[in-house]
Chains A and B, each alone.
Chain A
Amino acid sequence: MILLGKIALGMAGFAVAGAGLLCSEGFVDVNVVQHRDSPPHIHVIAPALLAPIAVRLVPNDKLGEASEKLQPWLPTVRAALDGLRDSPDMTLVEVSDPNEYVHVEKRYGDIVVDIANREETVHVSVPIRAIHSTVDALADVSPENTNSD
């Protein structure tokens, strides 16, 4: 009985540690609401830790071109992300016209993009750390390993 208790406690600890690890990078939140016809509503909340892992799981030949294009801009993207991470919460870009509203802000360590127009409303929130890790994962895709045929 005591042994079973110990096993249960170990499993519970493992589950808590796993959940903690999974949540450590925050969450990616994507919410798309379409206004026309029969409106499909897409709302995905996923652990941000999965984004770089997903990039590493995609075959190299699928990401080779993206990685190649990203390479020259890597220092710029990293510098921008580092700078944004250290800056306070703020609205970065706000564009509005009679047909569309776009808002990009830094909020609680996330980059939050809101787009609203007549056809749809889009909300995307991604932790800066997750963007950094995903960019790093994408950069690690070696062009030599890709199939360019």
Chain B
Amino acid sequence: MDKRWILGAAAAAFFCVLSVPAVAAPADRYLHVQVSDSGNKGEDVNVNLPLSVAEKVLPTIDRGPLHQGRVMLDRDQLKGIDMPTILEAIRNSPDNKLVTVKDKDGENIDISKADGKIVVHVNEPGKKGDNVNVTVPIAVVDALFSTAQKNEINVAAALQALDNAGDSFLVTVENTSEHVRVWVDSHNQPQ
């Protein structure tokens, strides 16, 4: 009787262990760049890069203004601009249009905040005019300017923040013949 009880308990424990779901590893995320030119060149370009690779590679590059994943700016480029305070103000403000610029040539620039993201629309007039949309999670902008006080842009931290952010289109550029898309998602091939 004791043996049966022990065997039963062991079997139950075994099936319990099998039925416990394994802790899922965070899904890899991928940066995709897609350029499609239906004009004279007729060129299509697809680049798919695991963000983990970019995160490993970037800090190793020590060339020009790029050191340890940070871009050194010229001395005066961020002088007098308090980026942390500006970003804090944007983060705490409600979703809204922040800046609208319309020049005499008809070019429109809109910068707005929506769903925790900074959205920039640029609309150039004319047939060949580009229609540009840039959408960047505020967390990524935060990370990018996290070392602004040292006159640096922290690209490595921005990549890491991008890795933690949800799937999103970052950049789309469209005109009559060219379409450019840059986005991040969990698929290793363009969907």
Chain A residues with CB under 8 Å of chain B are: 72, 75-76, 78-80, 82-84, 86-98
B48 at interface (Cβ–Cβ under 8 A)? Answer: yes
Q: Which of B28, B41, B46, B56 contacts A91 (CB 8 A)?
A: B46
A67–B89 Cα gap in the complex (Å)?
51
Residue B49 is within 8 A (CB to CB) of chain A in the complex: yes
Contact among B60, B63, B188 for A90, CB-based, below 8 A: B188
Of the A-B pairs whose beta carbons lie under 8 Å apart in the complex, a sample of 20, sorted by A's number, is: A72-B62, A76-B57, A79-B59, A79-B60, A80-B53, A80-B56, A80-B57, A83-B56, A83-B57, A84-B53, A86-B52, A87-B53, A87-B188, A88-B188, A92-B48, A95-B43, A95-B44, A95-B45, A95-B46, A96-B44
Contact B49 A92 (CB under 8 A): yes
Q: Which residues of B contact A83 (CB under 8 A)?
A: 50, 52-53, 56-57
Q: How far is the CB of B62 from chain A (nearest CB, A)?
A: 7
Query: Can you add 9 more A-B contacts, CB < 8 Å, to A79-B56, A90-B189?
Result: A72-B63, A76-B60, A83-B56, A83-B57, A84-B50, A88-B28, A93-B45, A93-B47, A95-B46
Give the complex CA separation of A84 and B42 in angstroms: 30
Secondary structure dominating the interface of B: mixed
Question: Is B10 on the interface with A (CB-CB < 8 A)?
Answer: no
Asked whether B52 lies within 8 Å of A87 as measured between CB atoms, the reply is yes
Question: How distant is the Cα of A82 from the Cα of B57 in the complex, in angstroms?
Answer: 9
* B53, A97: Cβ atoms closer than 8 Å: no
- Inter-chain CA distance A37–B45, complex, in Å, is 31
Which chain A residue lies CB-closest to B44? Answer: A96
Instruction: Judge whether B61 is part of the interface by a CB distance below 8 angstroms.
Output: yes
Complex Cα distance, B33 from A95, in Å, reads 11
Could you tell me if B41 and A97 are in contact, using CB atoms closer than 8 angstroms?
A: yes
A-B complex: 5 closest residue pairs judged by Cβ atoms: A83-B53, A75-B60, A90-B188, A94-B46, A97-B43
Q: Which residues of B contact A91 (CB under 8 A)?
A: 46, 48, 189
Question: Once the chains are docked, how many angstroms separate the CA of A79 from the CA of B56?
Answer: 6
Contacts of A94 in B (CB 8 A): 44-47
> How far in angstroms is the closest Cβ of chain A from B10?
37
**How distant is the Cα of A72 from the Cα of B122 in the complex, in angstroms?**
40
Which single member of A79, A82, A87, A92 contacts B28 (CB below 8 Å)? A87
Beta-carbon contact of B50 and A87 below 8 Å:
yes
Q: Which of A72, A82, A92 has the most CB of B within 10 A?
A: A92
Which residues of chain B are near A82, meaning CB under 8 Å?
56
List residues of chain B with CB within 8 A of the CB of A86.
52
B10-49 to A contact mask, C-beta < 8 Å, 1/0: 0000000000000000001010000000000111111111
Within 8 A of A (CB), among B43-85: 43-50, 52-53, 56-57, 59-63
Query: Which residues of B have CB within 8 Å of A96?
Result: 43-44
Within the complex, what minimum Cβ distance (angstroms) separates B163 from chain A?
A: 13
Enumerate chain B residues within 8 angstroms of A92, measured Cβ to Cβ: 47-49
Nearest B residue to A97 by beta-carbon distance? B43
How far, in angstroms, from A92 to B150 measured CA to CA in the complex?
Answer: 35
Docked complex Cα distance between A39 and B91 (Å): 64
Residues of A within 8 A of B63 (CB): 72
